[in-house]
C-alpha cells in the first residue's frame, strides 16, 4: 500500500494558487526499488511498493498539508495497493495512525471516507481499465505480448553494451489482425502507452521551466499490467483527474517523469495540474534517506519519546518555503509563514543530531500549557509504573501534583519524558540506598549536617522554593567545622538521590517535597548514629 496526499482548495484571490478546485497531490510514504536507487519521497502514484511512514514521507506530507491549510483546503489521503505481490500487512493502517499522531491528519481517507473516494486504488480498477481502453481505441496505447523472457534478454543486452535498458517498442508495430489473433488465443499481454516526440515545456512551481523528451530515452511504459492492475503512471493520472487535483507537490526525483505524464494528459484530453517538485530531504552528508536507516521510521521517533511538533519543526527548519527559519515553530505558525515561492531547489540537509534540542524546546512548550501538561503527566505516570512497578517509594509519586511539579522544575533541562524514568532520575520515584562507607568518605559530620538540614526543612513548612533553599543551604554549610561546602553538597546529593550528579540539591528537595526530603535525611541521621 502506498499513499497520496491531496488538498482540495476553494477558489482564491490572485495571490493564491490558481482557482478551479485546486488540490495538492503529494508523496511517497514508503519506498520504491529500481535501478535508480531508493526514494525518500515523491508522489505515491509514482511508487511501486510501500512500507511504513518514514521521515521523508512525513516531510512531503507536511508540505502538502501546510499548502492545503494555507489556502483553506482539505487534506486527502489515497492509498495505492495495486501491486498485490508487495503489500505490507498493517501498512495502510499505520500510515493513517502516524499522520494523525504527527498532527497532519487527512480530512478524507480510507478510514474517514469522503466525496472523492474510494480512496483505495484496488477499488478503482474499472476506472483504470476504461481509461486504458480509451487510450487503445484512440491509438495512444497498444497491447504488448512480449514475454518476460524476451524483456529480460533486452535488458541484459543493453547492460552488456553499456546502455540504459529500455523496451524496444516492438509491439506498437503489430497489425490489427495480429493483435486480434493473439487476444483471441488468450496470449498474456500488457497495455503500453505510446510515447511521442514533441513534449511541451511546463513551468514547475519550484524548478521553473522544464522539458524532457522521454521518447528519446525511454521505451513505451506499461500502464496496465498482465494481472489487470494499473501501474503507478496510469493510476496517478486517472486519480488526479477524477479527484480534480489541480496542484501536485512531490519529490524532485519525479521531475524527469512529468513530461511523460503530460503526454498522457494530452492523449486523454485532460487538463494537467500545476506541478511543484520539492527538493529532497537528505542526510547531513547529502546521501538519500534510505529504508535501511531503521531509525528514520516515524514509529521509531514515537517510541523514543520524540514529540510530533519537533519532527515537523526540524524537517521544515532544514528546508525552505517559509518566511522565517527558527526553532520552536508550531504547525499554525508553519501554515501562516508558508510561501511556496520561497521553496528553493537545494536539497534539505537533515541534521538529526539536533533533534534532541528541537524536542527540548517543544517539550518545554507543552509543559507550559495546562491541557498539554495533563497529557504529559498521564503519559509519564504510565511510564513510571511500567519501569518501576513494585519499587515505587509510595503512591504519592503517581499523583498529578507531584509529577506536575517535577515536570515544571525540569522543563528546559530534559529532551524527552524517557529521561525522567532513566537511572539519573530514579530517585524521584524510588528511595535510593547508600552506605555508611560512602558517607564516611565525604565527612565525619554527617549527623550534624543531617540535623541542620532537618531543622531547615521543618522551618520552611510546606513552602520549599529552589532559590531560597539554595541560599539557605550555603549558609547552613558554614555551620560545619571540618567539612568543605562541596562535600556538604555531595553528602546531601547522595542522601537524596544516591548519585553524584543531577539537578541541584535544592531542586531535588523541592521536587521530592518536604515530607519525603525529611524521610531521607532521617535515614542519614539514623545511619550516622548507628555508625
Rounded to an integer, what distance in angstroms lies between the CA atom of residue 38 and that of residue 31? 6
Residue 414, domain member (yes or no): yes
Helix H or strand E encompassing 163: none
Give the CATH number, domain containing residue 517.
Answer: 1.10.10.350
Rounded to an integer, what distance in angstroms lies between the CA atom of residue 265 and that of residue 85? 28
Give residue 30's pLDDT: 28
Asked whether the beta carbons of 500 and 493 are under 8 A apart, the reply is yes
Asked whether the beta carbons of 374 and 403 are under 8 A apart, the reply is no
Give residue 21's pLDDT: 33
Specify the length of the chain in residues.
Answer: 531
Q: Could you give the residue numbers annotated as active site? A: 291
519 in the same domain as 446: yes
Give residue 292's pLDDT: 60
519 in the same domain as 452: yes
Give residue 49's pLDDT: 32
440 in the same domain as 420: no
Residue 481, domain member (yes or no): yes
470 in the same domain as 451: yes
Rounded to an integer, what distance in angstroms lies between the CA atom of residue 70 and that of residue 72? 6
33 grid coordinates: 526499488
User: What is the sign of the dihedral through the CA atoms of 250, 254, 257 and 258?
Assistant: positive
Q: Which residues contact 510 (CB under 8 A, 6 or more apart)?
A: 405, 409, 464, 465, 466, 469
Asked whether the beta carbons of 309 and 331 are under 8 A apart, the reply is yes
Rounded to an integer, what distance in angstroms lies between the CA atom of residue 105 and that of residue 58? 11
Q: Which of 322, 343, 360 is the last residue of a domain?
A: 360
Bridge partners (DSSP) of residue 282 are 288, 349
411 in the same domain as 342: no
Residue 335, domain member (yes or no): yes
475 in the same domain as 501: yes
517 in the same domain as 445: yes
Q: Which of 360, 381, 411 is the last residue of a domain?
A: 360
- Which residue range is the domain that position 322 belongs to? 298-360
Asked whether the beta carbons of 94 and 302 are under 8 A apart, the reply is no
Q: How far is CA 478 from CA 455, 471, 518, 529, in A?
A: 15, 12, 21, 22
Residue 288 CB neighbours (<10 A): 17
Reported pTM:
0.83
Instruction: Kindly give the confidence (pLDDT) of every residue in the chain, 531 residues in length, as a single tens digit, with 9 standing for 90 and above.
Output: 445 555 555 443 323 343 333 333 333 332 222 222 222 232 222 222 344 788 888 988 999 899 989 988 878 888 888 887 777 788 888 999 999 999 999 988 999 999 989 999 999 999 999 999 999 999 999 999 999 999 999 999 999 999 999 999 999 999 999 999 999 999 999 999 999 998 999 999 999 999 999 999 999 999 999 999 999 899 999 999 999 887 888 889 899 999 999 999 999 999 998 899 999 888 888 888 766 666 788 999 999 999 999 999 999 998 899 988 899 999 999 999 999 999 999 998 999 999 999 999 999 999 999 999 999 999 999 999 999 988 887 788 999 999 999 999 999 999 999 999 999 999 999 999 999 999 999 999 999 999 999 999 999 887 889 999 999 999 999 999 999 999 999 999 999 999 999 999 999 999 999 999 999 999 999 988 886
User: What is the sign of the dihedral through the CA atoms of 329, 333, 335 and 336?
Assistant: negative
- Of 151, 149, 158, 76, which is closest to residue 118 (Cα–Cα)? 76
Asked whether the beta carbons of 372 and 404 are under 8 A apart, the reply is no
403 in the same domain as 340: no
User: Listing from the earlier edge strand, what are the strands of the sheet with 190-193?
Assistant: 141-144, 190-193, 222-224
The per-residue DSSP string of 24-38 comes to EE---SS--EETTEE
Residue 254, domain member (yes or no): no
495 in the same domain as 452: yes
Give residue 3's pLDDT: 54
Instruction: Catalogue the E-assigned strands of 325-372.
Output: 348-350
- Tell me phi and psi for residue 164, to 5 degrees: -75, 125
Q: Which residue bears the cell 492492475?
A: 229
440 in the same domain as 519: yes
Asked whether the beta carbons of 347 and 56 are under 8 A apart, the reply is no
Bridge partners (DSSP) of residue 192 are 142, 222
Residue 70, domain member (yes or no): no
Residue 147, domain member (yes or no): no
Asked whether the beta carbons of 79 and 47 are under 8 A apart, the reply is no
- Of 291, 254, 319, which is closest to residue 62 (Cα–Cα)? 319
Residue 262, domain member (yes or no): no
Task: Count how many domains the chain has.
Answer: 3
The per-residue DSSP string of 53-113 comes to -BHHHHHHHHHHHHHHHHTT-EEEEEEE---GGG--TTHHHHHHHHHHHHT---SBBTTTB
296 grid coordinates: 528514520
373 in the same domain as 356: no
Q: At what angle do helices 258-268 and 125-137 cross, to 10 degrees?
A: 80
Residue 327, domain member (yes or no): yes
Q: Strand, coil or helix: what is 300?
A: helix
Eight-state DSSP code of residue 389: G
Eight-state DSSP code of residue 199: P
Instruction: Catalogue the E-assigned strands of 287-442.
Output: 348-350
Express each pLDDT in 40-79 by its tens digit.
232 222 222 344 788 888 988 999 899 989 988 878 888 8
- Of 207, 206, 247, 251, which is closest to residue 343 (Cα–Cα)? 206
CA Rg, the chain, in Å?
32
313 in the same domain as 350: yes
Give residue 1's pLDDT: 45
Give the CATH number, domain containing residue 354.
Answer: 1.10.1160.10
Amino acid at each position: 500500500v502506498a499513499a497520496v496526499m491531496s488538498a482540495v482548495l476553494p477558489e482564491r484571490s490572485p495571490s493564491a494558487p490558481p482557482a478551479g478546485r485546486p488540490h495538492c497531490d503529494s508523496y511517497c510514504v514508503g519506498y520504491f526499488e529500481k535501478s535508480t536507487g531508493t526514494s525518500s519521497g515523491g508522489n505515491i502514484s509514482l511508487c511501486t511498493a510501500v512500507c511504513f511512514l518514514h521521515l521523508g514521507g512525513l516531510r512531503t506530507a507536511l508540505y502538502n498539508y501546510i499548502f492545503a491549510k494555507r489556502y483553506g483546503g482539505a487534506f486527502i489521503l489515497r492509498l495505492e495497493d495495486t501491486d498485490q505481490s508487495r503489500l505490507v500487512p498493517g501498512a495502510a493502517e499505520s500510515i493513517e495512525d502516524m499522520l494523525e499522531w504527527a498532527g497532519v491528519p487527512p480530512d478524507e481517507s480510507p478510514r474517514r471516507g469522503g466525496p472523492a473516494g474510494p480512496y483505495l486504488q484496488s477499488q478503482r480498477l474499472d476506472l483504470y481499465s476504461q481509461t486504458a481502453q480509451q487510450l487503445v481505441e484512440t491509438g495512444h496505447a497498444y497491447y504488448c505480448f512480449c514475454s518476460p523472457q524476451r524483456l529480460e534478454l533486452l535488458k541484459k543486452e543493453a547492460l552488456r553494451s553499456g546502455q540504459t535498458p529500455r523496451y524496444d517498442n516492438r509491439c506498437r508495430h503489430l497489425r490489427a489482425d495480429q493483435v486480434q489473433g493473439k487476444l483471441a488465443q488468450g496470449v498474456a499481454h500488457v497495455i503500453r502507452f505510446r510515447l511521442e516526440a514533441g513534449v511541451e515545456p511546463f513551468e514547475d512551481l519550484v524548478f521553473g521551466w522544464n522539458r524532457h523528451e522521454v521518447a528519446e530515452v525511454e521505451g513505451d511504459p506499461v500502464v496496465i499490467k498482465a494481472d489487470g492492475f494499473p501501474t503507478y503512471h496510469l493510476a496517478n493520472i486517472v486519480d488526479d483527474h477524477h479527484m480534480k487535483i489541480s496542484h501536485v507537490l512531490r519529490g524532485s526525483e519525479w521531475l524527469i517523469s512529468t513530461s511523460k505524464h503530460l503526454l498522457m494528459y494530452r492523449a486523454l484530453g485532460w487538463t494537467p495540474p500545476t506541478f511543484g517538485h520539492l527538493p529532497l530531504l537528505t542526510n547531513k552528508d547529502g546521501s538519500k534517506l534510505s529504508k535501511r536507516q531503521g531509525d528514520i521510521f516515524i514509529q521509531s521517533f514515537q517510541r523514543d519519546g520524540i514529540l510530533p511538533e519537533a519532527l515537523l519543526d526540524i524537517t521544515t527548519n532544514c528546508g525552505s518555503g517559509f518566511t522565517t527559519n527558527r526553532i520552536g515553530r508550531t504547525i499554525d505558525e508553519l501554515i501562516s509563514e508558508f510561501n511556496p515561492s520561497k521553496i528553493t531547489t537545494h536539497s534539505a540537509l537533515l541534521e538529526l543530531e539536533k533533534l534532541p534540542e528541537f524536542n527540548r524546546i517543544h517539550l518545554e512548550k507543552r509543559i507550559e500549557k495546562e491541557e498539554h501538561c495533563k497529557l504529559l503527566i498521564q503519559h509519564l505516570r504510565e511510564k513510571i509504573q511500567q519501569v518501576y512497578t513494585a519499587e515505587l517509594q509510595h503512591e504519592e509519586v503517581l499523583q498529578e501534583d507531584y509529577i506536575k511539579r517535577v515536570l515544571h522544575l525540569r522543563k528546559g533541562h530534559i529532551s524527552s519524558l524517557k529521561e525522567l524514568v532513566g537511572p539519573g532520575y530514579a530517585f524521584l520515584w524510588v528511595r535510593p540506598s547508600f552506605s555508611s562507607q560512602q558517607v564516611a568518605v565525604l565527612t565525619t559530620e554527617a549527623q550534624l549536617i543531617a540535623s541542620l538540614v532537618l531543622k531547615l526543612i521543618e522551618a520552611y513548612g510546606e513552602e520549599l522554593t529552589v532559590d531560597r533553599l539554595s541560599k539557605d543551604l550555603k549558609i547552613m554549610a558554614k555551620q560545619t567545622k571540618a567539612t568543605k561546602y562541596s562535600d556538604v553538597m555531595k553528602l546531601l546529593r547522595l542522601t537524596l538521590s544516591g548519585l553524584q550528579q543531577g539537578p541541584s540539591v535544592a531542586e531535588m528537595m523541592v521536587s521530592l517535597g518536604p515530607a519525603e526530603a525529611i524521610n531521607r535525611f532521617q535515614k542519614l541521621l539514623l545511619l550516622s548514629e548507628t555508625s
